[in-house]
Chains A and B, each alone.
Chain A
Amino acid sequence: MQGDLWQASLGLHGVRMDSAKLEFFRGTLDVLILKALVWGPLHGYAITSLIRRQSDDALLLEEGTLYPALWRLENKGWLDAEWGLSENNRKAKFYRLTAEGRRQLRHEVKTWEAYASAVAKVLGATQPPLPEEVA
């Protein structure tokens, strides 16, 4: 069931992703959410708002994928949820990073950076690679 929702597009502004390429972005939503909560607890709408503004309107999270991801992360124990009052005194569910969530965030960021640099190496190549030495 989760897989189906991951098929739904990540919502890159103006760019439509097809499902094959989405394999590479699995977990991206998770790490974005974890990072968004680094500066304090937020409710779901505030998380989308923060990511939108942070990416200069490039990343628009779809609600259909956001909330299942939030609930999943809460299940896994990376987020803690509690009910509170929003800025205009409405009841809202706030999510907060747990200690384990922070550890997970660090790990995921490292993975992402390694992945990004590897992709950059391939894409930025000016000549084909040297043949491998046969030992």
Chain B
Amino acid sequence: MKPIPMWRRYSRLFGPDPAADVKDELRFHLQAKIDDLVAQGWTPDAARKEAELQFGDLRAVQKIGVRMGEKMERRKRLKDYWNDSLQDMRYTLRTLGRDPGFAAVSILILALAIGANIAVFSVVNTLLLRPLPFPDSRELVWIAPPPNACGLSCATYSADAYEEFRDQSRAYQGVTGYMAFGTADNLRLTGRGEPEPATGVEVIGNFFQVLGVQPAMGRLFTAEESRGGPHPVALLANAYWRRQFNGDPAIVGRAVELNGTPITIVGVLPDSFDFGAVFSPGAKVDVFTPLDLNLERNWGNIVTLIGRLKPGVTRAQALDDANRVAPNIYFNVKYPATLGRYRGDLIPVPLKDYVTGKLRRSLIALWCAVGVILLIAGVNLSNLLLSRAVARAKEFAVRGALGASRGRIVRQLLMESLVLSGAGAAVGLGLAVMLIAWLAHQGAVALPLLSSLRIDGPALGWTVLVAVFTATIFGLLPGLRIASGNLQEMLKDSGPGAGLGRKHESIRAGLVIVEVALACVLLVSAGLLLRSFVKVLDVDLGFQPDRAASIKVEYDDSAPTPEGSQVKRGEIFQQIIARVSGLPGVEAAGISDYLPLGPNREWDAPAPKGKVFAPGELPDPLVYVVTPGFIRAMGIRIQGRDFTWADGPRSERVVLINASAARVYWPGEDPVGKILMRGDEEDRVVGVVDDVHEETVEGGTGSQIYYPATQQGPSGAQLVIRTSLPPATLAASVLRALRELNPNQPAAEFRPVQTIVDRAVSPRRFFMLLVAAFAALGLLLAALGIYGVISYSVTRQAQAIGIRMALGASVWRVQSQVLAGTMRLACAGMVLGTVLALVVAKLISSLLFGTSSWDLPTYFGMALALLLVAAISGYIPARRASGVNPMRVLRSN
């Protein structure tokens, strides 16, 4: 290619000018033609006129030329840009390859931070952002009273109430619900060898239609089947069908035996539907049967209410509609006095809010924590890049002198941070995928929708966003610092850049102080959450969960009369308890139909005899139907006496109440011996037990009543055993004992009571562990940052140290000076960090339990940890400083 002549370069000194080029070209043509015409004999003026005439529309041609010229310029610029970027990329890969240690450390730091970010984003996306896995899930609402300490058992309605609500409301396409008082393993799959336990939920007939769930095989319930049609039918959950029936394709229409009765399977639900994930976190439901409302009409409040709004109906409109309908609803049409009982207790909230609303604050806190980690990692990266850039300061100075624009140099450095970020993001994505896969399988954690956790499109998009953001923000700083430097100074050959180094060192120190401050915030947050968790574990549950285990017991108390049934039941229970108590290692045994921290239920509110209470003052206590020995087996404290086997169907009706109930019924008096009226029934209080946490560990307690199993009807039987041995060792012998008494006893799970407690606190533990992990990561990154800065400063001052040592400074003095510098950094960071941490602690105070935002031990612990880590990070460079050989350092300039 011929070289561009000098005159051309000068006339286009400020860059290409397509418009001027076109003008020049056309002017030349015109001039040449004029010259020719003049040569042929025309006068100059006439020649000019003729030339312009012959040319035609000069302006139009010019316009075309300018447009095309500009297009070509644009294309050329893009091509140059692209080629430059490729060149930068190749150069970056080469230089990074020459320094694999640096590249590996940076990529690792970035991978951890970005991976954590992706994982948390996926969790937030699944739990908060993504809509529920139902079609048009925004239309689904959960209808319940305003939230109170009572929980799920208060959010139920009677069969009559459901039907009236469904018929009178105008805001819904469909209203459905499910029976809220099932328990795990409430069904037995029989007829195939050993009976196997299964968990079943009774749902109102149109449950799946309202939710919009289509069966994977077969069909849903028909209207006739929902009314308790001719044959019992059931739907299987997809996982249960695969597990128990090996994915039998011919399952539809087959009859299986549940609890001894043959039931026809009419369909299998799709894999995407997980009842537990949405309505009952931590639980797995296997079988769905239609709820016959007629059978349950007299059982009180048993169904939850779920509705699908008509398109376009807003929440406010639905609320108005509910308020309009509520006064017309009976608890039970047979009792006209119950009209309007649900006034104010029918409030529709979006189903999504009900499912995940409680977690919103925790998740946002988690997201912020992981964002802080990314900031720390980014600052670290910035620091590392800056130190590298300083080392290459001369190279950049030469480039600048040779004509590279500042933008070009910055682009080169930005490309480095982009490559590192990209690699870090790729590795981080791999880490996140593994973490997510592990999290999704943590069935023990009672978090909703956890099993649907996965890396999807938005998560990948977030990855790219985070990587680019990190690269840009944190790569820009070193680039700008270097590119704005004084070229001449950088080119000077005065050792490892004395003046330059000092300026950069203060910047790097500043960055490290920020890092340390952020790590402080994370440490304090994790510490506060840890203290909260420990306080939660310390909560007096009212019972002793350790060394107790429970197992579901099957019994058959069918008899011609209710009294006969009670007698039979009493005998069965007494036998079971006697036999099991006789096993070696068993200290106490008892039976109850509901356990604390699990499902529960209420009966009609009893009232103290002879006292008048205003409506609404009487509490609705939770009811447990128990045998003698249960109180002792659970380790609940009692005043007065426990039930005995003498309290039978024909003896005086007795009852136990808890301290809260006693305070309400007979404030300031001793309740033992007093009478409680339930309708016409008189129950004598024989003992007062401590409050037991019935709903959550962290919540309060309400009123509780215990009735003897020989005088009332329990809804099942959970045998609780207190043992001095580890519960697992007794599982086999207990099951054998039960089998001997009842061959139909299914192989139920022998569950330590502690696991029930663990499950209740599992969400809190989960979050605490995550934040603690982030805090540890942040601390590690901050330590690396401190190490980097101190190490660099030691290298820079090698000469000065050498001189000092040659002049007689001892090893210890040199080391202590380095350490002092380290501590100064750490303390500055800690001061800033404490201020930030106080602010953050105030923000997360709603997540804490029993811990104040100014919890001094936590702050002290944070300071200690930080100082320790800083001392260790500073120690290695200090050792290096003291190992400096003065002769060598002084000799090599």
Tell me the A residues contacting B by CB distance below 8 Å. 1, 5, 8, 43-45, 62-64, 67-68, 71-72, 74-75, 82-86, 88, 90-93
Known: A63-B55, A63-B61, A64-B56. A75 touches B71 (CB 8 A): yes
Check A90–B31 contact: CB distance below 8 A.
yes
Q: Are A63 and B56 neighbours in the complex by a CB distance under 8 Å?
A: yes
Q: A64, B61: Cβ atoms under 8 Å?
A: yes
Contact check, B28 vs A63: say whether CB atoms are below 8 A apart. no
Contact A92/B25 with A45-B33, A64-B56, A84-B5 known, Cβ cut-off 8 Å:
yes
**Known interface pairs A8-B56, A63-B54, A93-B21. Does A71 touch B68 (Cβ–Cβ under 8 Å)?**
yes
Interface set, chain B 37-84, CB cutoff 8 A to A: 54-57, 60-61, 64-65, 68-69, 71-72
Q: In whole Å, how far is A98's beta carbon from the nearest beta carbon of chain B?
A: 11
Once the chains are docked, how many angstroms separate the CA of A93 from the CA of B4? 12
Please judge, given known A-B contacts A63-B54, A63-B56, A75-B71, whether A44 and B25 are in contact too, CB under 8 Å. Answer: yes
Name A92's closest neighbour in chain B (CB-CB): B28
Shortest distance between the CB of A42 and any CB in chain B (Å): 12
Contact of A67 among B24, B26, B31, B54 (CB under 8 A): B26
Q: Please state if B2 and A93 are interface contacts (CB–CB under 8 Å).
A: no
Q: Which of A1, A8, A83, A84 has the most CB of B within 10 A?
A: A83
**In terms of DSSP, what is the predominant structure of the interface of chain B?**
helix
Establish whether residues A75 and B68, one from each chain, have CB atoms under 8 Å apart when the complex forms.
yes
B231, CB-defined interface residue at 8 Å: no
A43 close to B64 (CB less than 8 A): no
A45 to B33, CA, bound (A): 8
The answer to whether residues A45 and B5 also contact, given A64-B60, A68-B61, A68-B64 and a CB cut-off of 8 A, is: no
A33 to B253, CA, bound (A): 83
> In the complex, A85→B24 CA distance in Å?
12
Q: How far is the CB of B442 from chain A (nearest CB, A)?
A: 61
A75-B71, A90-B31 in contact; A82/B57 too (CB < 8 A)? no
- B57 x A45 contact (CB < 8 A): no
Instruction: Judge if B842 is at the interface, Cβ distance under 8 Å.
Output: no
B32 within 8 A of A: yes
12 contacts between A and B (CB under 8 A): A1-B64, A45-B29, A63-B61, A64-B60, A74-B72, A82-B2, A83-B4, A86-B32, A90-B28, A91-B11, A92-B25, A92-B28
Contact at B25–A93, with CB atoms within 8 Å? yes
| C-alpha gap A90/B7 in the complex (Å) | 12
Residues of B within 8 A of A88 (CB): 35
With A45-B33, A63-B54, A67-B65 given, can you name 17 additional A-B contacts, CB distance below 8 Å?
Answer: A43-B25, A44-B29, A45-B29, A45-B32, A63-B55, A64-B56, A64-B61, A68-B65, A68-B68, A71-B64, A71-B65, A71-B68, A72-B68, A74-B72, A82-B2, A84-B5, A93-B24
The 8 A-B pairs with the shortest beta carbon distances in the complex, nearest first, are A64-B56, A45-B32, A63-B55, A92-B28, A93-B25, A71-B68, A45-B29, A83-B8
B72 and A75 form a contact (CB under 8 A): yes
A86 to B25, CA, bound (A): 12
Interface centre among B7, B25, B64 (most CB of A within 10 A): B25
Please determine whether B28 and A43 come into contact, CB atoms closer than 8 angstroms.
yes
Nearest CB on B from A50, distance (A):
13
Query: Interface code B69-109, partner A: CB below 8 Å = 1, 0 otherwise?
Result: 10110000000000000000000000000000000000000
Query: Could you count the A-B residue pairs with CB atoms below 8 Å apart for me: how many are there?
Result: 70
Q: With both chains docked as a complex, state the minimum distance between the C-beta of A9 and any C-beta of chain B, in angstroms.
A: 11
Query: B47 CB to closest chain A CB, in angstroms?
Result: 14
Q: Is the CB of A82 within 8 A of B71?
A: no
| Chain A residues near B21 (CB-CB < 8 A) | 83, 93
What are the residues of chain B within 8 A of A92 when measuring CB–CB? 25, 28
A67, B60: Cα distance in complex, Å: 11
Interface pair B28/A82, CB less than 8 Å apart: no
Q: Which of B7, B32, B71 has the most CB of A within 10 A?
A: B32
User: Which B residues lie within 8 Å of A62 (CB)?
Assistant: 54, 56
Q: 8 Å CB contacts to A: which residues of B1-20?
A: 2, 4-5, 7-8, 11
Q: Which residue of A lies closest to B64 (CB)?
A: A68
Contacts of A63 in B (CB 8 A): 26, 29, 54-56, 61
- Distance in Å: Cβ of A18 to nearest Cβ of chain B: 18
| A26 to B874 CA separation, bound complex (whole angstroms) | 80
**Once bound together, how far apart are the Cα atoms of A109 and B671, in whole Å?**
117
Bound state CA distance, A38 and B57, in angstroms?
29
* Closest CB in chain A relative to B4 CB, distance in Å: 7
**Contact A91 B26, beta carbon cutoff 8 Å:** no
CA distance A64 to B58 in the complex (A): 7
Q: Could you say which residues of chain A place their CB within 8 Å of the CB of B7?
A: 91
Q: Complex Cα distance A62/B24, Å?
A: 18
Distance between Cα atoms of A85 and B11 in the complex (Å): 14
Give the Cβ gap from A3 to chain B, nearest Cβ, in Å.
13
Distance A93 CA – B56 CA, assembled complex (angstroms): 20
A5 to B61, CA, bound (A): 10
Give the distance in Å from the alpha carbon of A57 to the alpha carbon of B485 in the complex.
Answer: 66
Closest to A62 in B: B56
Chain A residues near B31 (CB, 8 Å)? 90
Residue of chain B at shortest CB distance from A2:
B64
Closest to A44 in B: B29
- Cβ contacts under 8 Å, A45 to chain B: 28-29, 32-33
Find the B residue at minimum CB distance from A47.
B29
A1 to B11, CA, bound (A): 31
| Distance in angstroms between the alpha carbons of A1 and B32 in the assembled complex | 28
Which chain A residue has the least Cβ–Cβ distance from B75? A75
Chain A residue with minimal CB distance to B56? A64
Contacts of B8 in A (CB 8 A): 83, 91
- Which of A72, A74, A82, A91 is in CB contact (< 8 Å) with B4? A82
The complex places the Cα of A122 from the Cα of B31 at a distance, in Å, of 45
Q: Which residue of B lies closest to A83 (CB)?
A: B8
User: What CA separation (Å) do A43 and B32 show in the bound complex?
Assistant: 11
Q: Kindly identify which residue among A8, A67, A83, A93 contacts B5, using a CB–CB cutoff of 8 Å.
A: A83
Tell me which residues across on chain A come within 8 A of B60, comparing CB atoms: 64
* Cβ of A73 to closest chain B Cβ, rounded Å: 11
Task: Please measure, in the bound complex, the distance between the C-alpha atom of A25 and the C-alpha atom of B783, giving whole angstroms.
Answer: 78
Most buried by B among A63, A64, A74: A63
Q: Which residue of A lies closest to B32 (CB)?
A: A45
Task: Give chain A residues whose Cβ lies under 8 Å from the Cβ of B61.
Answer: 63-64, 67-68
A82: B residues at CB distance < 8 A: 2, 4
CB distance from B425 to the nearest CB of A (A): 38
Q: Smallest Cβ distance from B9 to chain A, in angstroms?
A: 10
Q: Are B28 and A71 in contact (CB under 8 A)?
A: no
Identify the interface centre among B5, B11, B29, B55: most chain A CB within 10 Å of its CB. Answer: B29
Complex: how many Å from CA A86 to CA B21? 15
Q: A45-B28, A83-B5, A83-B8 are in contact. Are A64 and B57 (CB under 8 A)?
A: yes
**Across the two chains, which residue of chain B brings its CB closest to A46?**
B32
- In the docked arrangement, what's the CA distance between A84 and B61, Å? 22
CB contact between A71 and one of B2, B24, B33, B69 (< 8 Å): that residue: B69
CA distance A85 to B4 in the complex (A): 12
Task: For the complex, give the distance between the alpha carbons of A71 and B61 in Å.
Answer: 11
B28: which A residues are within 8 A, CB to CB? 43-45, 86, 90-93
Residue of B nearest to A71 (CB): B68
Residue numbers in B under 8 Å from A67 (CB-CB): 25-26, 29, 61, 64-65
Q: Shortest distance in angstroms between B628's beta carbon and chain A's nearest beta carbon?
A: 99
Question: How far, in angstroms, from A75 to B28 measured CA to CA in the complex?
Answer: 21
Set of chain B residues within 8 Å of A1, measured between Cβ atoms = 64
* Chain B CB within 10 A, most for which of A8, A90, A91: A91
> How many Å from the CB of A41 to the closest CB on chain B?
9
CA distance A47 to B370 in the complex (A): 69
Q: Which residues of A contact B5 (CB under 8 A)?
A: 83-85
Which residues of chain B have C-beta atoms less than 8 A from A5's C-beta? 64
Chain A residue nearest to B68 in the complex (CB) = A71
Query: For residue B7, which residue of chain A has the nearest CB?
Result: A91
CA–CA, A54 and B4, complex, Å: 31
Within 8 A of A (CB), among B448-491: none
Quick one: closest A residue to B54, CB to CB?
A: A63
Which residues of chain A are near B54, meaning CB under 8 Å?
Answer: 62-63
Q: How far is the CA of A43 from the CA of B192 in the complex (A)?
A: 97
Assembled-state Cα–Cα distance A68/B4 (Å): 24
